[in-house]
Chains A and B, each alone.
Chain A
Amino acid sequence: MIRGFASRTGQMLLVIFGISVLVFAIFFATPGADPTARIAGRGASPQVVARIRAEYGFDRPLPVQYLKMMEKLFISRDLTSFVNHGQPVVPEVLQAAPVTLSLVLWAAFFWVSGSLVFGIASAVLRDSWVDRLLMVLGLVGLSIPVFWLGEVVNLVTQSRWHDTLLFRWVPPLGYVPFSQSPFGWAKALFLPSLTLAVAFIGLYARVLRSELLTAMGEDSIRTARAKGAGPVRVWLWHGLRLSWLSYVSLFGLDFAQLLGGGALLTEVVFALPGVGRLTYQALATLDLPLIMATVMYAAVFVVVANALVDGLYALLDPRIREGRHGG
């Protein structure tokens, strides 16, 4: 058990190391322009350029540059944004994180409850018109670009029908911290998170439906019915129990990816000052340190989340707990 945990952690650290090398390479070792000029941003003075070159060691070999950068990111955490008047990057990211976390938590709530309802409904009513309609809707949801959907939602709720009874409550775009007003927080996040959740509801409902239908063909489901269990119990207790493994692992990955910056487009469209929007603003000024910081944090976050999902998986399935698959 302890050995397994240690080797897991070791693997995780190795992956994090690999990713950091990769991200570093993307930003500072791609063939093309001088990284100094990129960090300095557009139209920086020669003095600034010279200072950056010295500070990051861009005149030294790549491994040294890599180590310097990692030290600035994770140890001294004093990586600064040159475009933005020398503001330290790491605190900025940490400040934006609660916004993203709130958005993604709400979205996860919607997409889990939505996909459970739709997935179970269409599995139970398989091949009926309800099933077909839900599955087509799911595909449509999967096919909508989230930023465009966000704009349409804004158009409807902020402008066209804002004065109707249905949308009068919609607050102006932006974020309200939970500590300031819990109700305002929920109101501000309701539509953005629902928009973000649409594609996931479609995907997860489809996955859940097919997993459930596979599970319902298992012998153990027949046993459950032979025991005298009713349909609700058979579907929800036995069927779901068998089929939610892949659902849970999929959920863990997507949740982590969204927290790590996958919600960027939604945050931009709804003007939510989260990590994604921070990245977006950095894009406009080509603020490389900031972008690299968010990408690096996102990747580390996803790797850690993956490890957690693996652990959760083992909790849910006793067969995996002992390192035995299937059977």
Chain B
Amino acid sequence: MGAGVEGSYRRVVRAVLTRRDGAFAALLLAFILAACLSAPLYATLNGVDPFSSDIAGTTIRNGQRVDLMQPNDNPLHLGLSPIGPDWQPGPYVLGADSQGRDVAARVLYGGRNSLLIAAASATLCLCLAACLGICAGYFGGWIDLILSRILDMLWAIPVYLFAISLSVVTVGHGIRLGFITIGADNLLIPVGIIALVYVPYAARPFRARALSLSQAGFVMAARGMGASDFRILWREILPGLMPTMAVLAPLVMALCMLAESALSFLSLGVQAPAASWGTIIQDGEGLLYTRPVVAIAPGVAIVLTVLALNVLGNALRDQIDPKGVAR
């Protein structure tokens, strides 16, 4: 079976990449990823530090040295406002934020956190969901009953409220579990929270799949030959869950990315001085009417990434699971 599965994966990947939407999504994702990975390149080339405030700093515009914080050009607003975008390659291409930091560099660096958290929490979420789904679907009986009820309960708490509750108790203090301490600014905290809140969503399709697999002929046959539960789970059920995994992965990652941005927007996700697209939007809220680009740029990045993930997920579903087990 191994070779066949390998071969079919390659076929699915090829099929998705030759579809117009699949290719578009993959290219877009690759571009965003490459841009975010090359964030240090932009920062060092232009000599900007996206993490320390530089209110008294200067930059060069049209060959002249200008202050980063300019007297406000709108007479109604008093005080200083950061320099706007000039759309020319070079430092401060998207202008500066209220701390005098390069917005473009922050968006690139923030993207690394956003992508990392989304990918990590999606992975964690899918692993947890697959474990729960397998247990519930394969063993059935009271295990299934209890697990399903617990998942139903979690499902009843609105996702964002659930995430907020978990964040609010960990945000100031971190987690102390015996001798393990996770600091309040550790990225593992948002990763764990976001992964946890989407487990009920992802566990259902896994459970349904494991249930139907556990009643499939080849599993019955393996059981009849005296294979242990562990062996059946490892050799028969787990490979059978991979298509579900593949379809869910981009869709869950899209959800995780939206959740991360929302939490960060509420100052409950990534903690300063680190940035993510959500925190940058929050930074930009105060400058919304004077320098909207600070809030708009990271938002556009989120929309494009999430859109690409959703398109990719749909393309994968059309190829792998056209009848739509996992919605």
Chain A interfacial positions (CB closer than 8 Å to B): 14-15, 18-19, 22-23, 26-27, 30-33, 38, 139-140, 142-145, 147-148, 151-152, 154-155, 158-160, 207, 210, 257-258, 260-262, 264-265, 268, 279-280, 283, 286, 288, 291-292, 294-295, 298-299, 302-303, 306
- Once bound together, how far apart are the Cα atoms of A75 and B176, in whole Å? 33
A262 touching B160 by the CB < 8 A rule?
yes
Of the residues B161, B254, B303, contact of A264 by C-beta under 8 Å: B161
A298 touching B158 by the CB < 8 A rule?
yes
B160 touching A139 by the CB < 8 A rule?
no
- Please, which residues of chain A bring their CB within 8 A of the CB of B307? 139-140, 143
- Once bound together, how far apart are the Cα atoms of A38 and B154, in whole Å? 24
CB of B58 closer than 8 Å to a CB of A: no
- Please, which residues of chain A bring their CB within 8 A of the CB of B154? 22
Chain B interfacial positions (CB closer than 8 Å to A): 149-150, 152-154, 156-162, 164-166, 168-170, 172-178, 254, 258, 261-262, 265-268, 278, 281, 284-285, 288-289, 292, 295-296, 299, 302-303, 306-307, 309-311, 314, 324, 327
- Once bound together, how far apart are the Cα atoms of A206 and B160, in whole Å? 23
Q: How distant is B24 from chain A, measured CB to nearest CB, in Å?
A: 10
A27 touching B169 by the CB < 8 A rule?
yes
B152, B157, B166, B174 — most chain A CB neighbours (10 Å): B157
> Can you give 10 A-B contacts (C-beta < 8 A)?
A22-B154, A27-B165, A32-B175, A142-B310, A144-B303, A151-B284, A264-B164, A280-B266, A288-B168, A302-B157
A302 touching B165 by the CB < 8 A rule?
no
Of the residues A19, A31, A264, contact of B176 by C-beta under 8 Å: A31
Given contacts A32-B175, A139-B307, contact A145 B158 (CB under 8 A): no
Closest B residue by C-beta to A18: B153
A151 touching B281 by the CB < 8 A rule?
yes
Closest A residue by C-beta to B259: A145
B164 touching A26 by the CB < 8 A rule?
no
Closest B residue by C-beta to A20: B153
B175 touching A30 by the CB < 8 A rule?
yes
B157 touching A147 by the CB < 8 A rule?
no
B285 touching A151 by the CB < 8 A rule?
yes
- Please, which residues of chain A bring their CB within 8 A of the CB of B265? 145, 147, 265
- Once bound together, how far apart are the Cα atoms of A161 and B172, in whole Å? 40
Q: How distant is A294 from chain B, measured CB to nearest CB, in Å?
A: 7
- Once bound together, how far apart are the Cα atoms of A292 and B162, in whole Å? 10
A295 touching B261 by the CB < 8 A rule?
no
- Please, which residues of chain B bring their CB within 8 A of the CB of A151? 281, 284-285, 288, 295, 299
Of the residues A18, A147, A257, contact of B159 by C-beta under 8 Å: A257
- Please, which residues of chain B bring their CB within 8 A of the CB of A19? 153, 156-157
A145 touching B170 by the CB < 8 A rule?
no
What does DSSP make chain B's interface, helix, strand, loop or mixed? helix
A306 touching B156 by the CB < 8 A rule?
yes
- Please, which residues of chain B bring their CB within 8 A of the CB of A299? 156-158
Closest B residue by C-beta to A135: B314
Closest A residue by C-beta to B265: A147
B157 touching A32 by the CB < 8 A rule?
no
Of the residues B161, B173, B176, B295, contact of A295 by C-beta under 8 Å: B161
A22, A32, A262, A280 — most chain B CB neighbours (10 Å): A32
Of the residues A30, A159, A261, A306, contact of B169 by C-beta under 8 Å: A30
Q: How distant is B212 from chain A, measured CB to nearest CB, in Å?
A: 15
Of the residues B169, B268, B303, contact of A26 by C-beta under 8 Å: B169
- Once bound together, how far apart are the Cα atoms of A144 and B305, in whole Å? 10
A261 touching B158 by the CB < 8 A rule?
yes
A32 touching B303 by the CB < 8 A rule?
no
- Please, which residues of chain A bring their CB within 8 A of the CB of B158? 257-258, 260-262, 298-299, 302
Q: How distant is B118 from chain A, measured CB to nearest CB, in Å?
A: 12
Of the residues B156, B168, B292, B310, contact of A155 by C-beta under 8 Å: B292
- Please, which residues of chain A bring their CB within 8 A of the CB of B175? 30-32
A143 touching B303 by the CB < 8 A rule?
yes
- Please, which residues of chain B bring their CB within 8 A of the CB of A38? 169
Of the residues A30, A148, A210, A291, contact of B324 by C-beta under 8 Å: A210
B165 touching A303 by the CB < 8 A rule?
no
A23 touching B295 by the CB < 8 A rule?
no
Closest B residue by C-beta to A264: B160
Shortest beta-carbon contacts, A-B, top 3: A148-B299, A143-B306, A143-B307
Q: How distant is B94 from chain A, measured CB to nearest CB, in Å?
A: 16
Known interface pairs A159-B289, A268-B266; 19 further A-B residue pairs with C-beta atoms within 8 A, sorted by A's residue number: A22-B153, A22-B154, A26-B169, A30-B170, A33-B173, A145-B299, A145-B302, A147-B262, A148-B295, A148-B302, A151-B281, A151-B295, A152-B296, A210-B324, A280-B266, A298-B158, A298-B161, A299-B156, A299-B157
A147 touching B288 by the CB < 8 A rule?
no
- Please, which residues of chain B bring their CB within 8 A of the CB of A294? 161
Closest A residue by C-beta to B156: A302
- Please, which residues of chain B bring their CB within 8 A of the CB of A139? 307, 310-311, 314
Given contacts A30-B175, A159-B289, contact A283 B164 (CB under 8 A): yes
Closest A residue by C-beta to B260: A145
- Once bound together, how far apart are the Cα atoms of A213 and B175, in whole Å? 49
B161 touching A261 by the CB < 8 A rule?
yes
- Please, which residues of chain B bring their CB within 8 A of the CB of A303? 156
A283 touching B266 by the CB < 8 A rule?
yes
- Please, which residues of chain A bring their CB within 8 A of the CB of B324? 210
- Please, which residues of chain B bring their CB within 8 A of the CB of A144? 299, 303, 306
Closest A residue by C-beta to B281: A148
Given contacts A27-B165, A30-B169, A31-B177, contact A145 B258 (CB under 8 A): yes
- Please, which residues of chain A bring their CB within 8 A of the CB of B314? 139
A279 touching B261 by the CB < 8 A rule?
no
Q: How distant is B302 from chain A, measured CB to nearest CB, in Å?
A: 6
Of the residues B149, B288, B295, contact of A18 by C-beta under 8 Å: B149
Of the residues B166, B174, B268, B292, contact of A283 by C-beta under 8 Å: B268
Q: How distant is A221 from chain B, measured CB to nearest CB, in Å?
A: 19
A265 touching B164 by the CB < 8 A rule?
no
